[in-house]
């Protein structure tokens, strides 16, 4: 379907005259229909399905501005229609989109049975309700993002309309070839990024940084190898929020990119949180960062969120769909449908095909797959991890033994994912503990974001959040804000558990705690995630007792490590080798070519050899800067 006139004619052919069509607008990858008579529209419940079927696009129907109830009267009407027990926190009217945004503790009550309350709102006021869940505890990130969406509404509207015109009205050449270029994260972990190209399209998939190196040549993707200016990039698609996949996106906006970035809703919020922290850490450690807060805000204005399973046109010859990856809140595998069925590519990103306390296992069913790009973090022969239950039991034992000798347990974590997994274990194993679990850095903020998106979590966690029994805001958890509090916690005689980023001891509060705790043999250090080569975490994990750290003057000094360190591999958000093999074996349909990436070189090669023998398909291990024609 191309051209606004043709789209309008199709809408008119299906929409009854009684609906009083005013205009059809292209708004990013969706088509918005403005009408005057919403009552007539709702009289046929299959109408929107028929229009979407004809246009094969996402359709949104809104009341025209001329029939909207004035804001003051509409506000009074909303208070009549929405039950008090819904716990409404805020109501905001957005005339740029003819929407009323309702923030509430209980969205289900605002929606009503089969959408009955939403329908009554739009019929009574004309305003299209958009319901947002409030976090169960205060969240500065959620407040800032929602505040920015209000203030940037007019800017966003212009961006989406311009993008819509580009998507639907600019004809493309025939799609005669498809290729990818490896820009980062191939035969390594960190700075994941690749470019997908056709004769019409240039799309970047993931754009991360390697936070575990001080070597600038290995820290960022090889964007200069694209042979393109950033203005020539059509779109960016981000699989999940971890910095090795999303950390360099603001740089694109700082240096000329003006297009959309597609993410799941939780990824948007987590990404902004982690990028903001990245700037703070870089400034504190080196005095500079490759982008600033202004660039994160610009990125936010250009983000388009998509749910799992929602098919989206990203250019006129590429459409994509997110599928659950099981790795962290909102993490996704990306299915790319290229050239009207010419080629189908699945990018696994980071996947977890096993039981965790936080997320459901990665999906295995796709419409079509010719080429698979799969992560290989634990793709080596020896990468067989213990069952999660064993690690949970072991963690509880370490905590109990350390607390019994009046020691303290330091658990370095990624603030998003592993931190919440650990919190769920501690909350389950210690019902009424005589010690405190301190949450430092972004852990509390990240946990608050988890409570906004329970539908992305395992069913039992989802149920608890919906029943006002969130496991993330129990009295045993206390938040830490500054160095004075950290010092007081470590110097206190009271035993405790400290959950703090970064997970590899590459910076952040976990390193500050280590400096203060390392000398005391009563203390324990527990690794629950991957420790990259050359990181401080890997050094301690491998038994080094004299390790280098930066002091308050930013100069290197050594500390002597006397505390006991443990590694609990069962908590990883990545699939181990058996899980990777099982996921690929169960993948439907079977791919004809597999490329391994996101792993140390040897692990990528080992996994590729095994998949070749097991599935009898072509396997490759691309290097950074390789360009490979897929079709």
Q: Is residue 147 part of a domain?
A: no
In whole angstroms, what is the distance from residue 459 CA to residue 94 CA?
Answer: 33
Number of domains in the chain: 3
Checking if the pLDDT of 2 tops 60, the result is: no
Q: Are both 355 and 454 inside the same structural domain?
A: no
Q: Which tokens go with 444?
A: 């509390």
Mean pLDDT of 278-293: 84
pLDDT of residue 252: 98
Virtual torsion, Cα 164, 165, 167, 169, nearest 10 deg: 150
pLDDT greater at residue 44 or residue 322: 322
Q: Which CA distances in Å does 38 have to 62, 187, 442?
A: 8, 55, 44
Predicted pLDDT of residue 317: 92
Residue 29 lies in a domain: no
Encode pLDDT of 267-279 as tens digits: 999 999 999 988 9
The whole-number pLDDT of residue 500 equals 95
Q: Is residue 276 part of a domain?
A: yes
Looking at the fold, whether 309 and 398 belong to one and the same domain comes out as: no
Q: What are the residues whose beta carbons fall under 8 Å from the beta carbon of 141, sequence distance 6 or more?
A: 269, 272, 273, 276, 445, 448, 449
Read off the pLDDT band of 508 (50, 70, 90).
Answer: confident
**65, pLDDT greater than 90:** yes
Q: Looking at residues 51-59, what average pLDDT do you find?
A: 91
Average pLDDT over residues 490-504: 94
279 within some domain: yes
Statement: residue 1 has pLDDT above 50: no
- At residue 222, the pLDDT reads 97
pLDDT (0 to 100) of residue 525: 96
| 594 and 495 belong to one structural domain | no
**At residue 221, does pLDDT exceed 70?**
yes
157 assigned to some structural domain: no
Asked if residues 298 and 230 have their Cβ atoms less than 8 Å apart, the reply is: no
* CB atoms near residue 589 (< 10 Å): 12
Shared domain for 216 and 266, answered yes or no, is: yes
Q: How many CB atoms neighbour CB 490 within 10 A?
A: 18
Q: Are residues 407 and 551 in the same domain?
A: yes
| 482 pLDDT above the threshold of 70 | yes
362: burial class by Cβ within 10 Å (0-12, 13-18, 19+)? buried
Question: How many other C-beta atoms are found inside a 10 Å radius of the C-beta of residue 252?
Answer: 24
pLDDT above 50 (res 592): yes
Cα separation of 547 and 514, whole Å? 11
Same domain, 287 and 394: no
Q: Are strands 128-133 and 99-104 parallel, antiparallel or unpaired?
A: parallel
Cα distance between residue 418 and residue 601, in whole Å: 25
Of 134, 154, 180, the last residue of a domain is 134
416-452 per-position pLDDT tens digit: 889 999 999 999 999 889 999 999 989 999 999 999 9
Least confident of 160-169, 199-208, 403-412, 608-617: 160-169
Provide the percentage of residues in the chain whose pLDDT is more than 70. 99
Same domain, 427 and 284: no
Question: Are 115 and 221 in a shared domain?
Answer: no
Q: What's the whole-number average pLDDT of the chain?
A: 94
The strand pairing partners of 27, in sequence order, are 30
pLDDT value of position 340: 87
Q: What CATH number is attached to the domain comprising 81?
A: 3.30.300.20
User: pTM of the predicted model, to two decimals?
Assistant: 0.94
d(CA 575, CA 432): 33
601 and 488 within one domain: no
C-alpha dihedral sign at 299, 300, 302, 308: positive
pLDDT tens sequence across 138-151:
999 999 999 999 99
Regarding whether 127 and 203 lie in a shared domain, the answer is no
**pLDDT (mean) for 306-312:** 96
> How far is Cα of residue 177 from the mean position of the Cα atoms in its chain?
30
Containing structural domain, residue 127: 68-134
181 & 307 share domain: yes
Same domain for 548 and 598? Answer: no
In a domain, 160, yes or no: no
Count CA atoms closer than 13 A to 215's CA, side-chain side.
Answer: 6
Mean pLDDT of 78-82: 96
Residue 421 belongs to domain with CATH number: 3.40.50.10890
Q: Which pLDDT score is estimated for 334?
A: 98
pLDDT above 60 (res 4): yes
Residue-wise pLDDT tens digits, 402-425: 999 999 999 999 888 899 999 999
């Amino acid at each position: 379907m191309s051209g606004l006139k043709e789209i309008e004619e199709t809408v008119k052919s299906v929409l009854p005259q009684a609906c009083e069509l005013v205009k059809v607008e292209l708004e990013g990858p969706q088509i918005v229909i403005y009408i005057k008579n919403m009552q007539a529209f709702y009289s046929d419940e299959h109408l929107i399905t028929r229009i979407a079927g004809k246009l094969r696009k996402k359709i949104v129907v809104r009341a025209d501005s001329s029939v909207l109830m004035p804001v003051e009267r509409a506000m009074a009407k909303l208070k009549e229609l929405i039950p008090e027990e819904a716990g409404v926190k805020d109501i905001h009217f957005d005339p740029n989109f003819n929407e009323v945004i309702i923030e509430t503790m209980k969205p289900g009550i605002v929606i009503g049975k089969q959408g009955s309350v939403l329908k009554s709102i739009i019929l009574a006021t004309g305003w299209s309700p958009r319901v947002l869940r409030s976090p169960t505890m205060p969240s500065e990130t959620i407040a800032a993002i929602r505040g920015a969406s209000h203030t940037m509404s007019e800017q966003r509207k212009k961006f989406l309309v311009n993008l819509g015109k580009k998507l639907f009205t600019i004809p493309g050449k025939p799609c005669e070839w498809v290729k990818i270029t490896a820009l980062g994260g191939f035969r390594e972990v960190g700075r994941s990024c690749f470019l997908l190209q056709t004769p019409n399209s240039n799309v970047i998939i993931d754009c991360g940084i390697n936070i575990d190196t001080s070597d600038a040549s290995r820290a960022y993707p090889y964007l200069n190898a694209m042979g393109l200016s950033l203005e020539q990039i059509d779109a960016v698609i981000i699989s999940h929020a971890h910095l090795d996949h999303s950390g360099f996106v603001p740089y694109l906006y700082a240096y000329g990119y003006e297009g959309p970035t597609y993410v799941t809703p939780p990824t948007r919020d987590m990404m902004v949180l982690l990028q903001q922290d990245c700037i703070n850490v870089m400034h504190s450690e080196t005095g500079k960062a490759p982008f600033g807060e202004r660039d994160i805000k610009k990125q936010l204005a250009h983000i388009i969120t998509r749910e799992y399973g929602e098919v989206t046109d990203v250019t006129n010859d590429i459409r994509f769909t997110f599928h659950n990856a099981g790795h962290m809140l909102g993490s996704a595998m990306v299915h790319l449908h290229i050239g009207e069925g010419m080629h189908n590519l699945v990018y696994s990103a980071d996947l977890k095909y096993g039981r965790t306390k936080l997320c459901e296992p990665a999906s295995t069913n796709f419409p079509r797959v010719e080429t698979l790009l799969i992560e290989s973090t634990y793709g080596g022969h020896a990468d067989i991890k213990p069952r999660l239950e064993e690690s949970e039991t072991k963690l509880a034992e370490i905590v109990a033994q350390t607390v019994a000798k009046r020691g303290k347990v330091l658990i370095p974590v990624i603030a998003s994912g592993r931190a919440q997994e650990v919190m769920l274990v501690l909350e389950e194993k210690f019902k009424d503990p005589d010690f405190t679990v301190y949450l430092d850095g972004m852990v509390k903020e990240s946990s608050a974001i988890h409570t906004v998106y329970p539908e992305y979590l395992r069913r039992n966690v989802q149920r608890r959040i919906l029943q006002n029994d969130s496991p993330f805001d129990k009295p045993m958890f206390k938040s830490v804000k500054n160095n004075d509090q950290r010092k007081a916690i470590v110097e206190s005689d009271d035993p405790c558990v400290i959950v703090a980023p970064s997970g590899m001891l590459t910076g952040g509060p976990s390193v500050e705690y280590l400096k203060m705790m390392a000398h005391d043999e009563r203390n324990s250090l527990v690794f629950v995630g991957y420790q990259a080569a050359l990181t401080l975490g890997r050094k301690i994990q491998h038994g080094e007792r004299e390790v280098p750290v930066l002091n308050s003057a930013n100069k290197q000094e050594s500390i002597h490590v006397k505390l006991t360190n443990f590694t609990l591999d069962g908590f990883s958000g990545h699939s181990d080798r058996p899980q990777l093999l099982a996921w690929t074996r169960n993948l439907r349909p079977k791919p004809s070519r597999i490329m391994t990436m996101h792993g140390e070189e040897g692990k990528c090669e080992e996994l590729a050899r095994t998949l070749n023998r097991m599935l009898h398909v072509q396997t490759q291990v691309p290097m950074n800067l390789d360009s490979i024609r897929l079709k």
